[in-house]
Amino acid sequence: MQDTLSPEGPPAATAAALPEITLDELSPELQAACGRAGWTSLVPAQAKAIPYLLADRDVMIQSRTGSGKTGAYLLPIMKKIDLHKNVAQALVLVPTRELALQVSREAQMLCEGTQLRTAVVYGGVGYNTQLEAFKNGAQLVVGTPGRILDHLLKNTLTLDHLKMLIFDEADRMLSMGFYPDMVRIRKYIPTARIASSMFSATFPPQVVRLAGQFLKEPELLSLSGNEVHIAESEHIYYVVPGMRKDRSLVRIIEIENPASAIIFCNTKDAVHYLSVVLKRFGYDADELSSDLAQTAREKVMARVRRGALRFLVATDVAARGIDIPDLSHVFQYEPPEDPEAYIHRAGRTGRMGSSGVVISLVAEMERFKLQSIARYYGIAMEERPLPSDEELERVVTERVTALLESRLRSRDNLQVERMQRFKALARTLAQSEDELAIVAMLLDDYYQLTLHTPPEQPAAETREESAPPRVPAKRPNRRAHSRSRKEKNFQP
């Protein structure tokens, strides 16, 4: 009997979990690699995940940054690669240049003194260094989907001998707009059995469907707690000045880039104000409160039901009874006045076994109330610093670059020929400091258009078509059964 999980329903049966592994149980080669990295033991993420990857079992692994997940897949890759073959045997797809470089550095540290060669591949830079790495026989390729696809289209990279395929931060790859490129990459993956794993901080339905397209009968693990269990939603909060909450929310939305979200406010005035702010920033947002006329409410509801509205700003009362499919994010512009409301708000995402992200914005004095709710309900909440200007610029730059490169790849010969008329002008604008404002304006206009079009996601499959992941057995979770009693007795 095996446990199954899909966006359409909860687990149905049970799959046996593999036992954890210790450093002493690794092969001498892998123990030596751990020694080069200064590891005296395996962290929980590695101890749980490595047995599955060594056994060639396809897995979806919930893991957050800093969990040790990179080592969890690099060590099995080292074990599986045949050093006598100078061809690409393992492919690690990542969402950003920074993560590609980070994974590459860790791989080089673990593989120091061995014959394993690594190529790191990402857009926005020249091709020569990457081509040289391929010519030198790189067996491990780490890169962003867009540039990987470029090399596949040009036949400078082949995956004919691929043994392992890793998706690192799959949720971020979807939010960056890489899904169309990933679909095209799939055509170059051999039809023979490939061991595939997907690492993601959360598993909303879109990521589950992505796994169904690349992984075969995947098992679902979580590396967030002390046991292997069904993925739960991620709870994050930011402490922000009350007068800057609107700008702070926009900054966080820019980083997260959710396909759709509900933003909860405590009052009708706050709902109206925030919906206006989001619209002025270029976002596809609308409001729902008791002040809304019936015809206007029906129009908003129709967009919600069609999945045609990206951001719904609402009060708790107005949002009752609304079910938005595939909702990946819930934002709380203000912490709820009633602690029980936090559970109801958070429950809008992560339904039926999938997981999502719940983000709260709190003023300094509101932090303690939120922390009291977290302690009482046993919710692990992570406080994060507000994204800096530099971080925001980097994320937006990588996102726009990925979108533009993808759009360029989709142009036919006639469109490419037509583009030549503007090459001289583009060169002039790029070289003139005075004209940079024009280039920035064009990029901003293009980016604003993308705010109304969420990144393309894997489409929902029918129940017959889907191949849901299996979930290893776990102990029953009694927390949900005790909530009703706790909610009545809560004291912040």
Q: Give yes or no for residue 14 having a pLDDT over 50.
A: no
- Following DSSP, what letter does each residue of 117-184 receive, concatenated? -EEEE-SSS-SHHHHHHHHTT-SEEEE-HHHHHHHHHTTSS--TT--EEEEESHHHHHHTT-HHHHHH
Residue 334 amino acid letter: E
- Topology of the domain comprising 1-230+395-492: Rossmann fold (3.40.50)
pLDDT of the residue at 478? 42
User: In terms of pLDDT, which residue wins out, 304 or 81?
Assistant: 81
Q: Retrieve residue 256's tokens.
A: 């997260």
Q: What is the CATH number of domain 234-387?
A: 3.40.50.300
Highest mean pLDDT among 428-442, 451-465, 467-481: 428-442
Q: Give yes or no for residue 376 having a pLDDT over 50.
A: yes
**Nearest alpha carbon to residue 86 among 131, 129, 51, 117:** 117
pTM: 0.70
Q: Where are the domains of the chain?
A: 1-230+395-492, 234-387
User: In terms of pLDDT, which residue wins out, 456 or 75?
Assistant: 75
Average pLDDT, the chain: 84
Q: Give yes or no for residue 450 having a pLDDT over 80.
A: no
Strand 261-264 and strand 329-332: the pairing is parallel
Q: Give yes or no for residue 344 having a pLDDT over 90.
A: no
pLDDT tens across 98-144, in order?
899 999 999 999 998 899 999 999 988 889 999 999 999 999 999 99
Residue 393 amino acid letter: E
Q: Residues with Cβ < 8 Å from 237, sequence gap 6 or more?
A: 359, 360, 361, 362, 367, 370, 381, 382, 383, 384
Same fold, 1-230+395-492 and 234-387: yes
Whether the Cβ atoms of residue 186 and residue 194 lie closer than 8 Å to each other: no
